[in-house]
Amino acid sequence: MTWVDSHCHLPADAAEADAIVDRARSGGVEWMVCVGTDLATSRAAVALAQRRDDVVATVGLHPHDAVDLESVWDDLLTLAADPAVVAIGEAGLDHHYEHSPGPAQAAAFRAQILLAHELDRALVIHTREAWDETFAILDDEGLPRRTVFHCFTGGPAEAAACTDRGAYLSFSGIVTFKNATDVRAAAAVVPPDRMLVETDSPFLAPVPHRGQTNEPAWVSVVGAAVARVRGEPPESVATRTRHAADQVFRVR
């Protein structure tokens, strides 16, 4: 039984990143998606993916860093064209922290949606306390053909709104958290061909590893939790989410 970690953040240090990836491979992870959130992490993700055939990269600007759009955009465009890059993002809206003002977030989100269309790359979305605006912008710009709501934190209604638009949902270690009733309810009903699993490492370590530094090796724990709420064997979830990742990121 093998898994794909559809969203992780790996360190820029080559030796440290290799050790984490090697542990994941030993733990049954076939490949993983290393995600860029700004220019520095996007460069590091591409460099790692260029070195390893079990890592692919995304290039993007997180809503926290949206104010940097103008200063980094040309460099992000160059990176995004690299063959190791399979997606744009994570991009989106975050009105919980608002480290960047709302209008700057919306502008950066729209720019990255258009880039995903232009390059025919997948789009990886971060949305927090911004469902209505996220859907409004996507409906306005048009949903890229392969779009992922990463670290999905909504309930069944939000899940339906995503999948009705043709998007995929990626579940993280939050699905194991005691108070994540809505997330588990969404995981129970999402269409099986629209489901991914991720660690979002080094963040959000799943139970029983909460409080530790998360790693892609623990994506199987997330997958097993999703399997429990769906009443399916983990092998089925592993196969389906691996296939969905292949379809979204065009790795196989």
Residue with tokens 């290039």: 59
CATH number of residue 218's parent domain? 3.20.20.140
Q: What would the mean pLDDT of 145-172 be, rounded to a whole number?
A: 98
Tokens coding 51? 């070195």
Kindly report the number of other CB atoms within 10 A of residue 202's CB atom: 16
Distance between CA atoms of 8 and 167, rounded to whole angstroms?
A: 19
Q: Which tens digit of pLDDT belongs to each residue from 90-103?
A: 999 999 988 999 99
Residue with tokens 């999948």: 163
Give Cβ neighbours of residue 130 (< 8 Å, ≥ 6 apart): 92, 93, 94, 95
Number of domains in the chain: 1
| Whole-number pLDDT of residue 251 | 80
C-alpha distances in Å from residue 69, one per residue of 135, 166, 186: 21, 27, 33
C-alpha distances in Å from residue 59, one per residue of 16, 81, 116, 180: 21, 9, 10, 29
DSSP 190: S
| pLDDT(140) > 70 | yes
Whether 138 contacts 114, CB under 8 Å: no
Percentage, residues of the chain above pLDDT 70: 100
C-alpha distances in Å from residue 27, one per residue of 20, 93, 121, 240: 11, 33, 29, 18
Count, residues in the chain? 252
Task: Tell me the residue range of the domain where 170 lies.
Answer: 3-249
Neighbouring-strand partners of residue 10? none
Q: What would the mean pLDDT of 15-32 be, rounded to a whole number?
A: 98
| pLDDT(183) > 80 | yes
| pLDDT(127) > 90 | yes
Average pLDDT over the chain, rounded to whole? 97
Q: Which tens digit of pLDDT belongs to each residue from 195-237?
A: 999 999 999 999 999 999 999 999 999 999 999 999 999 999 9
Q: What would the mean pLDDT of 105-113 be, rounded to a whole number?
A: 98
Helices within the chain (DSSP H only):
14-26, 39-51, 69-80, 102-119, 131-141, 156-164, 181-189, 219-230, 234-249
Q: Which tens digit of pLDDT belongs to each residue from 35-82?
A: 999 999 999 999 999 999 999 999 999 999 999 999 999 999 999 999
| Whole-number pLDDT of residue 252 | 62
